[in-house]
Structure formats: structure tokens, C-alpha cells
Amino acid sequence: MEVKELGHVVLYVRDIERSARFYRDVLGWRQILPAPGNAPGPRERRAAVFNAPSGRTHHELLLIEVGADAAGHPEGKRIGLYHFGLKIGTSDDELRAALAELTKSGTTILGASDHYATHSLYIADPDGNEIELYVDVPGIDWETPEAIGTPTKPLYL
């Protein structure tokens, strides 16, 4: 077997409308189902399906509502998803613009890191799922040890 690419991410969320607004209106994902403004019927699963504006594949993100009483993320070290990364461009100017938009929207900013080969902003969605928004640093040779082995430093935008 050979994995060809990461196909999609599925997240459980407390409130589908709130999360759909975040991924659609703040991060710019294209909502496929249900069509924006159309709530699921009373017998339908409360979910929302998205793909990135590039339209690379049928869907890249699925949100499934589990309700307000769902357990939150445990504190401290834990097993499971740490974050997922979304490439948003190729320059720090694009990261700065994203930071300004995120700040304006009230999105929780968790930090910013220089990973040598990438520069990253870390944010939290409304349910506390961590997302890395990153740009590839131009001119980095991914085959060199420095590209993946350089210690992370703070990024100042």
C-alpha cells in the first residue's frame, strides 16, 4: 500500500452553525453541504462539509456536531491530534495579513513559530482544536537536515 496524500480531516464540534461560520467566514473554506444558510432537517445528521477554495478534491473537512455537553480537550500531555496545518501562502506578508484578519475576527491566537522551512501561526477554532496556518520559506532545500532538524524559534510578525 502507498498513501498518495492526506484526503480530509473530520472534527467533532459542539455547535455546527458556530463552527461552520468560523471555517467558512474566517478561514475562507468553501462550504459544500449543507449550502450556507440551509440548516439540516430535524432527522438529518448535523454536519457540514467543506473544501478549500482550490477545489483540489471533493472534500477536505467534515464537521460533525456532538452537542454542547461533549467533553472538552483534556489539559496537559495527551494522546491524539495536536493540530492540523493549512498552507496559506509563501510569504510572511501573507501571514501578517492573516494575523490581522484573525485578530479582527476575535480568533484565539496561540502563537507564532519559525520552523526554518516554514513560518507558522497557531490558532484555535471555537472548540479549541488547534490549527497551524503556515507559509513555506522560499529557497529551502527540503532534502537537507536543516530543513527538518532546526530547532523551532519564536516568529515575530
Task: Report pLDDT digits (tens) over 65-117.
Answer: 999 999 988 888 889 889 999 999 999 999 999 999 999 999 999 999 999 89
Whether this prediction's pTM lies above 0.85 is answered by yes
pLDDT for position 37: 66
Question: What cell numbers appear for 17 in the block?
Answer: 452553525
Mean pLDDT of the chain: 90
DSSP state of 14: S
Asked if residue 43 has pLDDT above 60, the reply is no
Helix residue ranges, H only, the chain: 16-21, 92-105, 145-149
Sequence-separated (6 or more) residues with CB below 8 Å from residue 109: 99, 102, 103, 121, 122, 123
Query: Starting from the edge strand earliest in sequence, which strands make up the sheet with 108-114, in order?
Result: 84-89, 130-136, 118-124, 108-114, 153-154
Are the CB atoms for 50 and 32 separated by under 8 Å?
yes
- Strands 108-114, 84-89: pairing is unpaired
pLDDT for position 105: 97
pLDDT for position 40: 58
- More confident of the two residues 38 and 62: 62
Task: Supply the DSSP string of 121-132, one letter for each residue.
Answer: EEEE-TT--EEE
Are the CB atoms for 70 and 14 separated by under 8 Å?
yes
Q: All domains of the chain, ordered by start, with CATH?
A: 9-65 (3.10.180.10), 84-154 (3.10.180.10)
